[in-house]
Amino acid sequence: MAVKFLVLVIASVLGLSGVLGADPDPLQDFCVAVKDNKINISPPKSKKDDDKYDHDKDEESPYKVQMSTTNSSDISVVVNVNGAICKNPAMVTGDDFLFKNLVNLGDANNMVGSIVTPANIGMFLGLNTLGISFARIDFKKGGVNPPHTHPRATEILLVIDGSLKVGFVATNNKLFTATVNKNEIFVFPRGLVHFQENVGYGTALAFAALSSQNPGTQQIAPSLFGADPPISDSVLAKAFGLKPEAVDALQVTFSKDKESSWSNEK
C-alpha cells in the first residue's frame, strides 16, 4: 500500500510539473489583450449596478470596465497582472488574430549580423493566454544570433533559407550542436543557453515558435557586461579570468547608450 501511495505521489508531482512548467491554460476561447493593460473605470450607471463588472454590454469602449468608484468621472488605471487584461469579446474581430510584421526582410546591419523580429504578447495582442509566440530571424552572411536564453519557453527553429550551425549548452556544460539546413528544424530546451550562426554561402532566414506568449530573451554578454547599474569589475574579472581594464572595455561596448550597435531584436 505504501509503495502504491509513493508511486501515486511521484506521478502527481511529475504531472503537476508539466502543467506548471508552461503558461496557464486559458479559461475561455480567447482573451485578446488590452494594449498597455490600461482600462477605464467608470462609476456605476445606477445603484443596482454598484460593484458589478459590465464586460459585454458597454459598447462605448472595448476596454471599459464598470465598477464602483468614489470619483464622479472616469479614471484611467494601469493594472498589473500575470498576463494581460481581456478586451471586451464583443469588440474582438478577425484582425485581432492577424499579425503582418514578419513579411519584410529584417535589417541585420549590426555588430552581430542578425536581427530578430518577434511576434509575442508585446505586439501581437491576440496571443494572450494562448501559450505561444513566434519570431523571424534574418542573418547576414556569417551573422550570429549570440548566446541567449528564453527563461519561459522552449523554442523550435525552422530554417527557411540557408544553413545555420546551432547549439545549446546543458546544465552540465555539455554542448549539443548541429547544422540545420533549409526545411529542417531544431529544438532548444526551455531556459538553456543557445545560439545560431549562419554558415552558408549567403544570407539566411529562419522562423521560431516558442511555447509562451512572453518567452523573454536574455542575452548573455549584455546581461553581464551591460547590467544597469553595472556589476562590479572585481566580480566579472574573477568570474571570467579577465583584467579589470578588459572588463571596463566590455562594459563600454555593451552599455545602454550603445545598445543600437549590439542589440539584434526589434
Q: Are residues 70 and 178 in the same domain?
A: no
Which residues form the domain of 93? 30-40+62-98
Tell me the mean pLDDT in the region 237-260: 87
Is there a binding annotation on residue 214?
Answer: no
- Taking 80 as the threshold, does the pLDDT of residue 254 lie above it? yes
Residue 15, H or E segment = helix 2-20
Q: How far is it, in rounded angstroms, from Cα 153 to Cα 215? A: 5
Q: Are residues 126 and 253 in the same domain?
A: yes
Q: Are residues 137 and 178 in the same domain?
A: yes
17: confidence class by pLDDT, cuts 50, 70, 90? very low
Tell me the mean pLDDT in the region 118-130: 93
| Contact assessment for residue 236 and residue 117, using Cβ atoms and an 8 Å cutoff | no
Nearest to 21 by CA among 190, 214, 187, 217: 190
pLDDT tens per residue across span 185-195: 999 999 999 99
Q: Are residues 248 and 153 in the same domain?
A: yes
Global pTM value = 0.76
Looking at 48-57, 146-155, 158-167, which range is the least confident one?
48-57
CA angle 90, 96, 97 (to 5 degrees): 120
Task: Specify if 50 maps to a domain.
Answer: no
Q: Are residues 122 and 233 in the same domain?
A: yes
Q: Which three cell numbers stand for residue 126?
A: 491576440
Q: Are residues 210 and 239 in the same domain?
A: yes
Q: By CB neighbour count within 10 A (0-12 exposed, 13-18 middle, 19+ buried), where does 78 fall?
A: exposed
Count the alpha carbons within 13 Å of 250 in the hemisphere toward its beta carbon: 21
Q: Are residues 78 and 129 in the same domain?
A: no
Task: Specify if 25 maps to a domain.
Answer: no
Q: How far is it, in rounded angstroms, from Cα 258 to Cα 222? A: 11
Is there a binding annotation on residue 55?
Answer: no
DSSP per-residue codes, 220-250: HHHHHHS-SSPPPHHHHHHHHT--HHHHHHH
Q: Are residues 34 and 162 in the same domain?
A: no
Phi-psi region of 170 (alpha: psi -120 to 50; beta: other; left: phi over 0): beta
Q: How far is it, in rounded angstroms, from Cα 85 to Cα 52? A: 17
> Do the bridges between strand 185-188 and strand 155-161 make them parallel or antiparallel, or are there none, so unpaired?
antiparallel
Q: Are residues 136 and 239 in the same domain?
A: yes
